[in-house]
Structure 1
Amino acid sequence: MARFQHTVTLFPVPRRWFESCVVMIHWDRHRRTSVDITVRGNGPAGSEPPLSCRLDLKTAERPQQVKLSVRLKAGAGAWSKYAEGYAELHLDLGRLWSSVTGTAPFKGPALSGTVKQTLVRARVTTITRSTHDRFWRVTVKARVKGRSIGRLLLPVVVTVAGRRARTSFVRALDDAARKWNGRIPELVRSDPSRLVDRVF
């Protein structure tokens, strides 16, 4: 098993602004919403496997639960099956708002997820807290286990390239945080109605 952990600081998203955006893109606010997206490459047929995503929202009226599932199907080639994978993320908005405002005791991670690939399985969780200046301090934890022959390969990979893998993990989160902090401040200052009109 390999363990990774890193903490980033993010510009906060106000709850009222977020919920206003969600409500504005819904005609029926009390029904469940699902969005399906399939992304295909521009290469020759079968050379690039399709990526399928599904976003589920139980209700738009003060949303509490969001689920995102992503599936990468195998393409052509003898080794293509090893690129096949599936990920599912669950965001508990109730826990998120409570943890950043300190209005309720901690009851678990706001964001949790599982990533499955032919050779490995990873469990990801995040813990979010508000700093003294109201930014979000997010700690991301990941545990990776081998599957099938990956159980034999993972210890070798960790021994040989463990430091490089942890560096890549940290760099990826830092890059994501930098992009978030570069875009979110302008978005949350925008009127939700204008933002929705621009997107749709």
Structure 2
Amino acid sequence: MVSVRHKVVLAPVPYPWLVDALAAIRTLLEESQADERGLVLPDGQVIPDIRLARGRHLRPGSVYLIEDEDEDEDEGKDKDKDADASETVQITVGEWDHRRAVRLELALAADDMNVELDATLKSPDRPSLVEVSGRTRGDAKPRTLFDMAGRARVRLDDWWPAADTDRTPPSAPASARLDHRWIRADVQAVPRPSPSRDDGGWDLHVTVSLRGRRLLRPVAAVVLAVAAGRIRRSVIQSLDNLAARWNDRVPRLVAMNADQLRENLLSKP
């Protein structure tokens, strides 16, 4: 097994801002309409790439399709190869209740990969739990390289007390597991108040563990032991890059109130 522990410093997201932002997004969607033109926003703008394929707008069982085709215009390309790359996303509303839960099922079909996700936000009016599970299947051979399943959950009720008041949570508020046929990866994240930031930032303590699975566990153990140093450097670099992107974008979003966020969403359909 290889275990990596690393700390990153993140700009904070106030819980009241999250509540207001989710309400703004939900209200914008509920005030929109779906017809043969696509998704019609409250100001009349139309997003033509999103089409209601079945059911009524935002009702349980409704299905939306998002289709994207990239045409290759390079005349120098080999004509025997596919010139077009297509991608279709199907979104099914499993539940839409701002008091109880919002659950969406997403299925992405691309030329070389299929992805299925099931995402749930409990009590959106006062968000308490986020759960995501999913699976990927590759069309390329050998398919075992791309077939994976995973799940993640964030207990929001425990996240902010730990991040803002240093209250010790019963377990890591954020956790994830990714299972490949050969390897299992477990991730746990615990936030703490950051003494290095003046804005009430967070020190995020992340632990990533990798281990072999099934009959290949002994072989995987040897491979992981040999590559342990490279794996640790790669994980740390990835976490640092994610933190840098977070700290570049999140403060600008948090600076917006609900009305400004709505205007920003309407200006970028």
TM-score, length-normalised on structure 1?
A: 0.88
Q: Distance in 1 between matches of 2:11 and 2:166?
A: 19
Q: Distance in 2 between matches of 1:58 and 1:87?
A: 19
Structure number with bigger Rg: 2
2:220 counterpart of 1:190? no
Q: Distance in 2 between matches of 1:88 and 1:37?
A: 14
2:120 counterpart of 1:94? no
2:225 pairs with 139, 159, 179, which one?
A: 159
Shift of 1:103: 7.0
Aligned counterparts, 1:125-144, within 5 A: 125-132=188-195, 133=198, 134-144=200-210
Q: Cα RMSD over matched residues?
A: 1.9
Aligned residue number for residue 118 of structure 1: 181
Shift of 1:179: 0.3
On the 8 A contact 2:177/2:185 being kept in 1, the answer is yes
**Higher strand proportion:** 2
Aligned residue number for residue 37 of structure 1: 106
2:115 pairs with 29, 34, 51, which one?
A: 51
1:176 pairs with 225, 239, 242, which one?
A: 242
Shift of 1:192: 2.3
**Higher helix proportion:** 1
Q: Distance in 2 between matches of 1:197 and 1:107?
A: 39
Aligned residue number for residue 125 of structure 2: 61
Q: Deviations over 1:39-70 (max 9, x none)?
A: 333x4xxxx12122222011112111111223
Quick one: which amino acid aligns to residue 210 of structure 2? V
Where structure 2 has 5 or more consecutive residues not aligned to the other structure, the ranges are 31-96
Aligned positions, number: 194
Greater Cα shift, 120-129 or 50-59: 50-59
Q: Distance in 1 between matches of 2:99 and 2:207?
A: 33
* Structure with higher RCO (Cα < 8 A, 6+ apart): 1
Shift of 1:108: 1.6
Quick one: which amino acid aligns to residue 149 of structure 2? Y
Quick one: which amino acid aligns to residue 104 of structure 2? V
Q: Distance in 1 between matches of 2:223 and 2:160?
A: 38
Q: Go from structure 1 to structure 2 and tell me whether the alpha carbon gap of 1:153 and 1:103 turns closer, same or farther (over 3 Å shift).
A: closer
Aligned residue number for residue 22 of structure 2: 22
Q: Distance in 2 between matches of 1:12 and 1:150?
A: 41
SS at match of 2:214: coil
